[in-house]
Amino acid sequence: MNKDLRRERDSASFNPELLTHLLDGGAERTRRRREIEALVLNNPDFQHEDLNFLSRSQRYEEAIRKSALMVVKLREYGIADPDEIYWFKSSIHRGRPEPLDLHLGMFLPTLLTQATLEQQDRFFMPAWNLEIIGTYAQTEMGHGTHLRGLETTATYDPATQEFILNSPTVTSIKWWPGGLGKTSNYAIVLAQLYTQGQCKGLHAFIVPIRQLGTHDPLPGITVGDIGPKFGYDEMDNGYLKMDNFRIPRDNMLMKYAKVEPDGTYVKPLSDKLTYGTMVFIRSHIVGDSARSLSRACTIAIRYSSVRHQSELKPGEPEPQILDYQTQQYKLFPLLATAYAFHFVGAYMKQTYHRITGDINQGDLSELPELHALTAGLKAFTSWTANAGIEECRMACGGHGYSRCSGLPDIYVTFTPSCTYEGENTVMMLQTARFLIKSYTQVSSGQLVSGMVSYLNDLSGQHIQPQQVAARPTTVHINDPASLVEAYKLRASRLVEAAAKNLQAELNRRKNQEDAWNRTSVDLVRASEAHCHYVVVKLFTTQLSEINDAAVHAVMNNLCLLYALYGISKHTGDFLQAGILTDAQVTQVYQRVKELLAAIRPNAVALVDAFDFHDNHLGSVLGRYDGNIYENMFEWAKKSPLNKTEVHESFHKHLKPMQSKL
């Protein structure tokens, strides 16, 4: 064990194990997670050489090998709980994507939520046993987030009781679905439904794409891999073109909407019921933001404890770079953010399961807010984590740029989540629609509930701009509950400002779409402020559930840092709305620096509490034992370029050139 890391751990003021239990949801869940991870770590079949030294085709094959083995072992070990499956899968693939992701994460859940019982009987068990391997084909070359613009058609033919699927244009080719290129033999295809001469909008269809047994593409199907990407080398993101491809009528997912044998269309109870899969994935991305940022923080903070550089005081030994305030200022707010997002992810998961229960009982009242909340928080957390991972990489200096740090891999694996399942700016604008609708309800005298209930206070607060500054300010910067109120006021002010700007544009133009577009920057700001408020609120709520005094003290500091750092980055909003005074903003800056110093002795223990095994972390810089330099040298020696002392290019190109000159 590196002496710096040992000293850091010995000087911590709390027991990291207790914090691990909090993150896992209890000591028993921590025990079970470690037990499941050990099944992977102790199985030599799941070990492999460093993926950084493999070609893309080799990485894909390695992922398929492990995925196939994973499915066998899940059955063998009797692992069926969704959380336990996730732990097992994450441990095997070490946080990287794998070709069965969409089969397990989209295809099976969609069958469960949108197929009729008869369809489940036909498709679910073969899919569960991986005779059918499915993907979810929604995105096209020409359209992604704007679902209504999708061009793939499914035209009903009552004579044969079949749907005819077509990709009528080059832009309508399905493009990007994971596992589509080489792995899947079925796809749930989203297409515009045409029946009795009318378009009934987007619906989902179960479409076979490859022959069972031989895996050859079926006639009328053109399918393949879309080529190398920024990351995701293990994943065969694919394309799918359909030419008059026929499927039986009962391959349309018909739990909600139906097409009768004669072509009569029966519309669903609510057009929002089919959002289920997407809402589930978005709430999962919030948790994924927390996990990816946690991994990056673990690497950067451990490395910053082991790395010594420059002089703080002439003649004294080089300090750990974590002793520099500037390094703490880069990393500790991100550490606080990782914890905040973890609690938000847990809340989203609970909310999703609770509301899904209500929906099954026919209560759809909370669906609009769930949709708005998952859209906004998906965007807010993924944007923040994405920038934070890169900040962690740069905080590791030159070595952060090496693949051995693990940070480039975390970044390229995480960054697409800013785009998939809804491009982030569009997601923020969806949240804004809900906020504006809620504001309009309040303005007309109705009350709103849930996370937007703060808008109810606006009706009694109609303060003119010149009066705002005169309002007595009661924010206490050392009290998380008081900071929640400050964020709440900021959100309500920005929602109100966006709503008024939208109305002003409407008055000027009378065109709803133009007015919306010309106010969209304000609307995104309002959504970001709303999401920021929700995160601060949920982090603060979590504090009251921590019983251990030492853990509570350190989490209270992280919560304060998260809230105050956020204020320091958006001081204009808080000043403009009269929420804080100039003097208080100065105090906020000072308090942030004091909190950096308070968190410093516990920084390593705080990342240890995330409990990432070295195998999962995949980083020479972030090793638990801190023995970085010797392992970096060993890692470099394994580079394929070092297989020979003299590379063949010397004899082919350099030596002939030297002989000519």
Catalytic sites, residue numbers: 421
- Residues 145/423, Cβ–Cβ less than 8 Å: yes
What is the phi/psi pair of residue 190, to 5°?
-90, 125
Partners of 199 in beta bridges:
194
Question: Residue 395 corresponds to which tokens in the numbers above?
Answer: 């905080």
Q: Which residues, 6 or more positions from 302, have their beta carbon under 8 angstroms from its beta carbon?
A: 5, 604, 607, 621, 622, 623, 624, 626
- Distance from chain centroid for Cα 375: 11
The C-alpha atoms of residue 5 and residue 268 are separated, in whole angstroms, by 59
The C-alpha atoms of residue 526 and residue 334 are separated, in whole angstroms, by 23
CA distances from 463 to 243, 467, 498, 523 (A): 62, 6, 16, 21
The C-alpha atoms of residue 408 and residue 402 are separated, in whole angstroms, by 8
What is the four-CA torsion angle of 551, 556, 561, 567, rounded to 10 degrees?
160
Question: Residue 419 corresponds to which tokens in the numbers above?
Answer: 């785009």
Q: Which residues, 6 or more positions from 130, have their beta carbon under 8 angstroms from its beta carbon?
A: 71, 103
C-alpha angle with apex 511: 510 to 516, nearest 5 degrees? 115
User: Could you tell me the sign of the dihedral formed by the alpha carbons of 62, 64, 65, 69, in that order?
Assistant: positive
Question: For residue 658, which amino acid is it?
Answer: Q
The C-alpha atoms of residue 91 and residue 154 are separated, in whole angstroms, by 40
